[in-house]
């Protein structure tokens, strides 16, 4: 099969021919139809993950069809449409797993880091890492929902915000353009926060009720004028951006960081104490959360805006993604 490997940390991608992998007894082989390119693929490429072994095939936004199942796998059959996201399996026996908190499994695997991911014609994943993909969703459209989609959808649905509450989405990019759609479809009053006015029209089309140009006005003031935010979903990986919205929280409001800035976030506790506010983080979810995301997306017609690339052009797709030249998610097709 054709696959794209990272040969060693900080090296460019290699397009290689390698044997089609065989699933172990508890694994499933997936014939890949599409794989999204995510900013977190940087962890594979740059060696930012302690346990990583090279060469490694990146890719944790995988959509395809079940191609072969291990002998002990009972819930998947050949031909079924499936997706594999960031959470690539768990041990079922550690303290967290015994509580059903699979995301916090001490031995949790990450797709494309602990095992080869979806930048390939085939991939093999643990059976518990698979989500069913609804027929209504095109493979290339479904792929980014396995990371950018689930992260924003799951963060919002696990927040305390209720229909009618003010929810701000900071950043109108790969995550933000999905977050706006989910927030709108979930019944929130939605504020899109972004620098400049380039993305204003698109944000309003996607379902934002308000648009705040954070270069022209102070985001916190605007949010307070709208009654204060129950949630600010911070998708831009920027500490100053996160700091700038804390003052816009309403009572019990929460800034949920889903983009990770390279530098620490400095927050004055006074801005939190006064409103019982908080700053928190959220990471993706389990395969069942992925499936919920995909089903909700099909039900409410939430789709990502994508640019597709041939698998062999992974390097180009990755560089364009890093340079924010892709609107809004890059997807590889084998
Ligand atoms: Zn990702
Ligand atoms: Zn575990």
pLDDT (tens digit per residue) in 261-299: 989 999 999 999 999 999 999 999 999 999 999 999 999
pLDDT at 145: 98
Same domain, 318 and 202: no
Q: What is the pLDDT of residues 89-117, one digit of tens each?
A: 999 999 999 999 999 999 999 999 999 99
Q: In this structure, are 316 and 226 located in the same domain?
A: no
Report the separation in Å between the CA atom of 262 and the middle of ligand 2, taken as the mean of its atom positions.
28
| Cis peptide bond upstream of 55, omega within 30 | yes
Q: How far is the centre of ligand 2, averaged over its atoms, from the C-alpha of 123 (Å)?
A: 22
Any idea which ligand is nearest the CA of 150? 1
Query: For residue 312, what are the contacts with CB-CB under 8 A and spacing of at least 6?
Result: 2, 4, 15
Q: What is the pLDDT of residue 281?
A: 96
Asked whether residue 293 falls in the same domain as residue 269, the answer is no
Å from CA of 51 to ligand 2 middle: 16
Ligand number nearest to the C-alpha of 144: 1
195 shares a domain with 261: yes
Do residues 166 and 188 touch, judged by C-beta distance below 8 A? yes
**What pLDDT score does 302 carry?**
98
Query: For residue 119, how far is its CA from the centre of ligand 1 (angstroms)?
Result: 13
Quote the pLDDT of residue 106. Answer: 97
Q: Are residues 193 and 62 in the same domain?
A: no
Amino acid 195: pLDDT: 96
CA of 152 to the centre of ligand 1 (A): 11
Beta-carbon neighbour count of residue 31 at 10 Å?
A: 18
Tokens representing 119?
């930048």
**Between residues 259 and 30, the one the model is more confident about:** 30
Distances (CA, A) of 146 to 140, 263, 329: 11, 26, 12
The residue ranges of DSSP E strands in 270-314, in sequence order, are 278-281, 306-310
Count up the domains in the chain and report the number: 2
Determine the pLDDT at residue 206. Answer: 98
pLDDT digits (tens, 9 = 90+) for 121-144: 999 999 999 999 999 999 999 999
Ligand of minimum distance to the alpha carbon of 102: 2
Same domain assignment for residues 193 and 262: yes
pLDDT band at 9 (very low <50, low <70, confident <90, very high): very high
Q: Which residues pair with 308 in a beta bridge?
A: 331
Give the ligand at the shortest distance from the Cα of 98.
Answer: 2
Question: Are residue 79 and residue 130 in the same domain, yes or no?
Answer: yes
Task: Spell 63-89 as b/e; 16+ CB within 10 A means b.
Answer: bbbbbbbbeebeebeeebbbbbbbbbb
Surrounding residues of ion ligand 2, Cβ less than 5 A = 90-91, 94, 97, 105
Distance 267 CA to ligand 2 centre (A): 33
**105 alpha carbon to ligand 2 midpoint, in Å?**
4
Nearest ligand, CA 109: 2
Final residue before a domain boundary, out of 281, 298, 317: 281
Tell me the pLDDT tens digit for each residue of 145-185: 999 999 999 999 999 999 999 999 999 999 999 999 999 99
Do both 6 and 139 map to the same domain? yes
3-class SS at 5? strand
Cβ–Cβ < 8 Å for 141, 204 = no
- Ligand sitting nearest the alpha carbon of 37: 1
SS3 content of the chain, % helix, strand, coil (to 5): 30, 25, 45
% the chain with pLDDT above 90: 99
Which listed ligand is nearest to 97 at the C-alpha?
Answer: 2
Q: Ligand 2 center to residue 110 CA distance, Å?
A: 13
Say whether both 93 and 122 belong to one domain.
yes
Q: Are residues 240 and 137 in the same domain?
A: no
* Contact predicate 111/62, CB 8 Å: yes
Question: If you measure from the C-alpha of residue 314 to the centroid of ligand 1, how many angstroms do you get, rounded to a whole number?
Answer: 15
Distance, CA 13 to ligand 1 centroid (Å)?
A: 18
Tell me which residue of 87, 90, 80, 91 sits closest to 28, measured CA to CA: 80
> Do residues 263 and 213 share a domain?
yes
DSSP 43-67: HHHTT-STT--SSB---S-EEEEEE
Residue 111 Cα to ligand 1 midpoint, Å, equals 10
3 state SS of 225 = helix
Same domain, 199 and 123: no
**For the chain, how long is the longest CA-to-CA vector?**
60
Q: Which structural domain range is residue 7 located in?
A: 2-146+285-333
> Around Cβ 224, how many Cβ atoms within 10 Å?
15
The pLDDT, as a whole number, for residue 174 is 95
CA distance 333 to 265: 37
148 alpha carbon – ligand 1 mean position (Å):
6
Please give the Cα distance from 237 to 170 (Å, whole number).
10
The Å distance, Cα 121 to ligand 2 centre, comes to 29
Average pLDDT (300-322) is 97
C-alpha of residue 146 to centroid of ligand 1, in Å: 8
Q: What integer pLDDT is reported at residue 155 of this predicted model? A: 98
Going from the Cα of 198 to the center of ligand 1, the distance in angstroms, rounded, reads 25
CATH number at residue 59: 3.90.180.10
> How far does residue 208's CA lie from ligand 2's centre (Å)?
39
The pLDDT of residue 78 is 98
């Amino acid at each position: 099969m054709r696959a794209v490997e990272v040969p060693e940390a900080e090296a460019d991608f290699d397009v290689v021919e390698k044997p089609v992998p065989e699933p172990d007894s508890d694994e499933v082989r997936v014939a890949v139809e599409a794989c999204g390119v995510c900013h977190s693929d940087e962890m594979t490429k740059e060696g930012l993950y302690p346990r990583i072994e090279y060469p490694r095939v990146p890719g944790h936004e995988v959509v395809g069809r079940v191609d072969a199942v291990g002998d002990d796998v009972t819930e998947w059959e050949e031909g079924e449409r499936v997706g594999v996201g960031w959470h690539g399996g768990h041990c079922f026996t550690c303290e967290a797993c015994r509580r059903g908190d699979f995301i916090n499994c001490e031995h949790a695997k990450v797709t494309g880091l602990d095992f080869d991911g979806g930048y390939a014609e085939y991939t093999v994943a643990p059976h518990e890492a698979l989500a069913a993909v609804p027929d209504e969703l095109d493979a290339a459209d479904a792929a980014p929902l396995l990371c950018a989609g689930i992260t924003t959808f799951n963060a919002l649905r696990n927040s305390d915000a209720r229909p009618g509450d003010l929810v701000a989405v900071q950043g109108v990019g790969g995550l933000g353009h999905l977050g706006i759609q989910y927030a709108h479809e979930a019944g929130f009053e939605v504020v899109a926060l972004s620098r400049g006015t380039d993305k204003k029209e698109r944000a309003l089309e996607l379902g934002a009720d308000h648009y705040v140009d954070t270069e022209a006005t102070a985001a916190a003031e605007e949010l307070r004028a709208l009654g204060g935010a129950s949630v600010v979903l911070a998708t831009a990986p920027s500490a100053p951006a996160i700091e700038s919205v804390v003052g816009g929280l309403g009572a019990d409001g929460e800034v949920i960081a889903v983009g990770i800035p390279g530098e620490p976030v400095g927050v004055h506790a006074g801005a939190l104490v006064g409103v019982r506010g908080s700053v928190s983080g959220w990471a993706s979810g389990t395969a069942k959360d992925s499936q919920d995301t995909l089903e909700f997306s099909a039900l409410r017609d939430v789709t990502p805006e994508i640019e597709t690339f041939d698998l062999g052009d992974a390097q180009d797709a990755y560089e364009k993604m890093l340079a924010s030249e892709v609107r809004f998610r890059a997807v590889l097709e084998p």
